Structure formats: structure tokens, C-alpha cells
Amino acid sequence: MVQSLNTKTSTPFPAIAYVGLGSVYGKLLIGDKAFEFFNDANVEDSIQIPWDTIYHVEGVLHRNNKIGRQIVVVLNRQGNSKRQNHLRFSSKESGKILKLVREQLGNDKVVKAPTIIRTLMKKFTRKKG
């Protein structure tokens, strides 16, 4: 049995974790010490992310400022790596999840996900200096 890192947790939210080439259905728990995802089919297959390893959490917004279903957890860089790991989750109750994450991390670490246009503009603009 997998031991939870949290001592206090929220109610479990049904969610989907996009891992590798497929998706995994399970429950998402927001607690006092970690962000946790447990697989429905195999509870031993879990994702546990302590709050201090999270760089920021991105919420997807649509054009009419409605919160989308996807949540992206960006982890801190490991060692000398230039890339950051991204974990993507999806849930119908993403607004509630982002509010609970904001309570743990603070307002500055819950941000809007960059749009495709903003990403392309960043790639093709020159850096000054």
C-alpha cells in the first residue's frame, strides 16, 4: 500500500494524468504537504509531488476567461538541466483544484498557461542586449 505524504487532504477529485503516450484515470488529492495523484486501476501506481519541488502551476484559460480543464504542474530544475519537467492533469473541477493549490503555494506560483501565439512570439522575437 502506498503511504500518502499528506496528513490533511481535500476531497479526492476525479482526474486524468497524461503520462507518456497515454492517459491514466484516477483521483487527485491536494494536501498540506504534497500534490498527489492515485491511479484508479492500480493504487500502487501514484504520483506524489511535495510542494517544495513545484516551480509553478499553470491553469489553462479560454478566450472568454473561463478556466479550462487542464492543469500543468511545472517542477523545479534538477541539477544542471536546462529543461523543466511538466506534468499535465485534467479534471472537470480544475477551478477548485487551482484554488486549493493557491492556498498552498501562493498567488505568484499559480499562473496562466501561455497560449500558442504567445509561445510562437517568444520563439521568433530577438533578445535585446
Q: Give residue limits of the domains in the chain.
A: 13-126
Average pLDDT of span 88-101:
93
41: left (phi over 0), alpha (psi -120 to 50) or beta: alpha
Share above pLDDT 90 across residues of the chain, in percent, rounded to a whole number: 52
Give me the pLDDT at residue 2, please: 76
Q: Which residues make beta-bridge pairs with 108?
A: none
Give me the pLDDT at residue 61, please: 86
Angle at 40 between CA 36 and CA 44, to 5 degrees: 65
Q: Please say if the pLDDT value at position 6 is more than 60.
A: yes
Q: Which residues contact 5 (CB under 8 A, 6 or more apart)?
A: 31, 33, 34, 36, 48, 50
Q: Which CATH class is domain 13-126?
A: mainly beta
Q: Which residues make beta-bridge pairs with 71?
A: 59, 89
4 or 12, greater pLDDT: 12
Average per-residue pLDDT for the chain: 88
- Tens-place pLDDT, residues 26-73: 999 999 999 999 999 988 889 999 999 999 999 988 888 888 899 999
Strands 54-61 and 46-50: unpaired
Instruction: Collapse the DSSP code of 60 into the 3-class scheme (helix H, G, I; strand E, B; otherwise coil) and give the result.
Output: strand
pTM of the full structure: 0.83
